[in-house]
Structure 1
Amino acid sequence: MRSYILKLTIIALGVVMISSCSSKKVTLKHDQILGYWKTVVGENEYVQFEKLDSEYVYSAFTYDRLAASGIWELDGDNLIINFDDGTSTSVCVSFISDTLLFNLGAEKYVKAVISGKGRTPLAEIGDVEVLEAIIKNINVIFSEIEPFKEDWATPTISWQKITAEVVLKTDALSGMVDVGNQISKYLVSQGFDINSTRTTETISSYNKENLIVMIRLRGANEPKAGEACYIDVISGLDKK
């Protein structure tokens, strides 16, 4: 609901202020927008603008929960957000000193300096709590959290797992991959780093200090529309 209200607010304000935006001849740079911004006036507690690989990723958070996400781009002095649910909007961007303004001050944000790599801080959580956060923030139905043990997983770590079933709409695994990408983006936005030592063709792994989260994709080699495939999210604490 917060995401829906936020989008309606931005869209409505964008329509009202469009003449003000179009009258300016300003070209924004991505470096001006990138980073973590604390909300002064707006719906969410904070927003983050990142560059992940070749994409510019937008995330909005409230109470450490993902409220909205998508891809962003710049067009003159306009910021265009293409949300993950298929909708999009455009806002006029300006600055007063270090304050970021949307639509001439209808929304205001200040740059926050945080430790580490400048990513959104997540409260200290354990292997079970991170799975609970994923269940709340990713828009698919997951199974209950259960213990996980397979021969390939480090036996000295106590692993937990949740699983989501995705029914393919086409003869490709794109639907499953899209969900995996959503989980990956969420973890990165929460300060996790990619762990290449645990990454394979079907498993991507992420670390935040001693907390490990792995995303495993399970599908047929020759997928067909209507078939079910599965995404396992596996977490554990490496206490060594």
Structure 2
Amino acid sequence: MFEQAFKNIDDVLWKEAGCTTELDYTEQTSWLLFLKYLDGLEQDKADEAILTGKTYTFILDAPYRWESWAAPKDKDGKIDHNKAKSGDDLRDFVNQKLFPYLHGFKEKASGPNTLEYKIGEIFGEIKNKIQSGYNLREIIDHIDELRFRSQTEKHELSHLYEAKIRNMGNAGRNGGEYYTPRPLIRAIVRVVRPKIGERIYDGAVGSAGFLCEAFDYLSSGKALTTTDL
């Protein structure tokens, strides 16, 4: 699922004059994936709050949530193209409203370890290089079809990011130096032998390969309780 979607997205980015390297492809895909993932995460938390009789306060204001500007849905759960932005309207919204809004979180955050601060930091360091709003619309449509809920889906996404990081290194671009082959990651995890209850730290977390393999290692334990799981 992810592999074909990434290929389709790369094909669209290839047409963009501002995207000429593997790093550009990865960067532009990443900020969109992040906002899609964040929207799903917040919606899950909102649903959980409802079940417990609580109220969840969204991080992003309504106009800047994925479901509002990127992929508004009709009653059948499909993208409502009458409401979805496209062309110059979409590009201008992203460049002139969305990115400045997200960058502003860095100043409003209560501290550097908060998600709000990280959001502001991310969108202060990158910019949208997809200058055709129609290309951006096509990429958004591909990304909106992706799901990140199951562990299998997260693993697949992690593997694909590793491949992209490796490709950056093969092309002589920045970023490839952060690639660690998956067999080496597995070997390191087996040597470290993490245990349930210990804190696992992945300093670079480029593709979250160490975290994914540590999770698999812990999940394969023979004496796991329901609490451990």
Report the TM-score when normalising by structure 2.
0.29
| Higher helix content, 1 or 2 | 2
| Higher strand content, 1 or 2 | 1
Report the TM-score when normalising by structure 1.
0.29
